[in-house]
Structure 1
Amino acid sequence: MTSTGGGEPLTENFIKYDRLEELKEFDESKAGVKGLVDAGIARIPRIFVRPPEELASDHPNSGDPTNTQFTIPVIDLGDTMGRRAEVRASVQRAAETAGFFQVVNHGIAKRVLEEMLEATRRFHELPTEVKAEYYTRDQAKKVLFESNFDLYQSKFANWRDNVFCVMDPEPPEPEEFPPVCRDITIEYAKQVRKLGITLFELLSEALGLTTDHLLELDCAKGQAFLLHYYPACPEPQLTMGTSKHSDPDYLTILLQDHVGGLQILHQDRWIDVHPLPGALVINIGDLLQLLSNDRFKSVEHRVLANSVEPRVSIACFFTPKHYPSRIINGPIKELLSEDNPPVFRETSVQELIASFYDKGIGGNSTPRAIARFKLQQSTEY
């Protein structure tokens, strides 16, 4: 028998409750997880509690403390043209092994990073009645405030709120943004796009292709942002900030604050992605793994909840989700040969994106969404 930590066992009777009603009550409050914390709760609602089988098999803090030899690569992008071969080799190694790396000297000013983090924090710490004006599940909106996009599909809700905004191909009008984060989000998006172009050029070269090959495939188009806020949690051992998943995009650029909690799954062990002042975290998405014919690795990751202080992060996704007519023709043909046959079948943007969103983050992680596009199934997926 497993306890919730507050004394009530996770018995069958505890599990059987009107979950839908509690989900609706939470959703209709328009207050998000921050609203629960502001209300002074001492125990988390049942909709956030991980199923007993997950708690038993994968405690959020069960990373192997002896696995200290692997760390996330840190790549210096300074003087990229003068050090092109060195930088390209570093990006290639990281993309083919870890699937995650951090970049420094990336060209985005420290001021912009700090203001972006602070603006995100300021929005999420506004009074509930102010934030509620932006709260919606209408995905047609270009800017919206929500808690758990997959609230009604996931096995358990994650301990986080976010602002979602689509910045490309058709950015919102300035007045659609909350004033508290309007100007800096627009500025940050422009600078992250420039960085994304640089990374796609390096990744193209790492595949032995022309510098602009991935750009010509529109990989740098379609920017979507999530401005995450993870409130301090009274029972962090029972839930997750973000459940295990891989990203259904080409590339993700993440700005995180000093709190930490991001982990990647490497060789069946959870590895911390320690915050590095001024750095940005880069990870390969499922679509780039598919295009590269499995050379680049999109790996699963998660965010732990914590009881100490709120965590803020901003994720930029380079995704074709908002180019619904675009067809992905499977692995890049220039990479294929008799010795390197296709690993994945051809698919469409709609099909791959749907494979991620139909079950939500928690329900989608096993097996991974990309698994259904693999020509020969593997236990790795």
Structure 2
Amino acid sequence: MATTTHPEHDRASELRAFDETKAGVKGLVDAGITQVPHIFIRPPDMACGEDRVDISVINLGCTNAGPTHHEETVRNIGQALEKWGFLQVINHGVPETLSEEVIRGVAQRVIYNSNMALYNSVAADWRDSLFFTMGPEPPQPEELPEACREMLMEYSKHVVRLGFCLFELLSEAPGFHPNHFKDMECGKGHSIMCQYYPPCPQPELTLGVTKHSDNDFLTILLQDQIGGLQVLHENKWIDVPPIPGALLITNDWFKSVKHRVVANKKGPRVSVVCFSGHNPEPSLRLYGPIKELTSADNPPIYKETTLPNYTAHYISKGVCGTSTLPDFKL
């Protein structure tokens, strides 16, 4: 993979020129480019080559099948998040027809905000995105794009319900009361990001999304069947193949998860990500190590902080491929 150290390129000017077109990556593809512009070319990743394994698939329908099945579901979720930081869920209560409509609606968008970290990333991502703050108070319908307005509002209601269900199961995994994380207001706010990955003429030179960790309490990912998501596990990039009807869940509490999306010539690829815990309302509530899990023999290793402080630090770092959590170690 080529590097970004080419003195003949004025990166700042090229970024501004790209940004000022307001056409995004889709605009480049529509213009018929055959080579990836320099601002998208990434340095090589030091992690090992790609591999593929089966990420755990949890059937949430089991939670209504009696105490034995419920306990097994809780145990499987805890084990999956501890090992991978990722899992996929089926029978999650989000109508599959609605999921398909959301994917199609977003794919028909023609105006995108490209690369939220455009000016402070190592290289631009091969994607365009739309970001919506959906809670705690939902936006007015006219604030959302008409092409996907009704579907996003309906989808938002379903993923909020799913989020609270998952927070209950995550509370039980370490042995807490089902309302433990709910009482901490972990699901009070949420946002949705719609991402569009146009076909790339030279996918080996760039990435759809660079290596990063999320900064929310819970991430719920809806993706189409193009594929491209990878998780870093034991210094190897692991393909996370999409499963029809499944939603992918990640949680940074159990395991700091670095992931990325590779570019490809297929597509376009579309995904819709719900971030639980994103709350625009300023709050002085402190979050930190769970006191029930610490002791004199197992003292906390992270300091407490507020969500606004943590989020501001996450944004200030840019998309650098490292988790924000270690910066709060004691």
- TM-score category by the smaller chain? over 0.9
Deviation string 1:286-315 (CA, Å, 9 cap, x unpaired) is xxx2xxxxxx11310000000122110000
Give 2:96's aligned residue.
110
Offset of residue 227 of structure 1: 0.5
Give 2:314's aligned residue.
356
Does the Cα contact within 8 Å between 1:72 and 1:101 map onto a contact in 2?
A: yes
Q: Which range moved further: 74-83 or 172-181?
A: 74-83
CA 1:11/1:339 → structure 2, altered by over 3 Å: closer, same or farther? closer
CA–CA separation in structure 1 for the residues paired with 2:59 and 2:172: 17
Offset of residue 56 of structure 1: 6.6
CA–CA separation in structure 2 for the residues paired with 1:196 and 1:333: 23
CA–CA separation in structure 2 for the residues paired with 1:164 and 1:345: 30
- In structure 1, give the amino acid aligned to 2:59: D
SS in 1 for 2:123: coil
Provide the aligned C-alpha RMSD in A.
1.7
CA 1:299/1:39 → structure 2, altered by over 3 Å: closer, same or farther? same
Matches within 5 A, 1:273-292: 273-285=240-252, 289=253
Q: Which structure's relative contact order is higher, taking Cα pairs within 8 Å and 6+ residues apart?
A: 2
**1:256 pairs with 213, 223, 242, which one?**
223
Matched residue pairs, number?
Answer: 327
- In structure 2, give the amino acid aligned to 1:95: L
Give 2:15's aligned residue.
23
Give 1:332's aligned residue.
290
Q: Which range moved further: 239-248 or 162-171?
A: 162-171
CA–CA separation in structure 1 for the residues paired with 2:251 and 2:45: 30
Does the Cα contact within 8 Å between 1:320 and 1:326 map onto a contact in 2?
A: no
Matches within 5 A, 1:113-128: 113-123=99-109, 126=110
Give 2:55's aligned residue.
72
**1:150 pairs with 112, 117, 120, which one?**
117
SS in 2 for 1:234: coil
Structure 1's unaligned 5+ residue stretches are 5-9, 132-144, 290-295, 376-381
**2:196 pairs with 192, 214, 229, which one?**
229
Name the structure where strand makes up a greater proportion of residues. 2
Q: Identity across aligned pairs (percent)? A: 48
CA–CA separation in structure 2 for the residues paired with 1:347 and 1:106: 32
Give 1:300's aligned residue.
258
CA–CA separation in structure 2 for the residues paired with 1:298 and 1:358: 19
Offset of residue 231 of structure 1: 0.4
Offset of residue 352 of structure 1: 1.5
Give 2:85's aligned residue.
99
Offset of residue 58 of structure 1: 5.2
- In structure 2, give the amino acid aligned to 1:109: P
Q: TM-score, normalised by structure 1?
A: 0.82
Tell me if 1:35 matches 2:2: no
Deviation string 1:177-197 (CA, Å, 9 cap, x unpaired) is 111100000000000000000
Does the Cα contact within 8 Å between 1:23 and 1:151 map onto a contact in 2?
A: yes
Give 1:204's aligned residue.
171
**1:171 pairs with 129, 138, 150, which one?**
138
Tell me if 1:374 matches 2:317: no
Give 2:205's aligned residue.
238
Q: TM-score, normalised by structure 2?
A: 0.94
Does the Cα contact within 8 Å between 1:253 and 1:280 map onto a contact in 2?
A: yes
Q: Which range moved further: 222-231 or 74-83?
A: 74-83
Structure 2's unaligned 5+ residue stretches are none
**1:319 pairs with 277, 284, 298, which one?**
277
CA 1:193/1:258 → structure 2, altered by over 3 Å: closer, same or farther? same
CA–CA separation in structure 2 for the residues paired with 1:45 and 1:117: 28
Offset of residue 325 of structure 1: 1.9
SS in 2 for 1:313: strand
CA–CA separation in structure 1 for the residues paired with 2:45 and 2:154: 44
SS in 1 for 2:120: coil
Does the Cα contact within 8 Å between 1:257 and 1:311 map onto a contact in 2?
A: yes
Does the Cα contact within 8 Å between 1:75 and 1:87 map onto a contact in 2?
A: yes
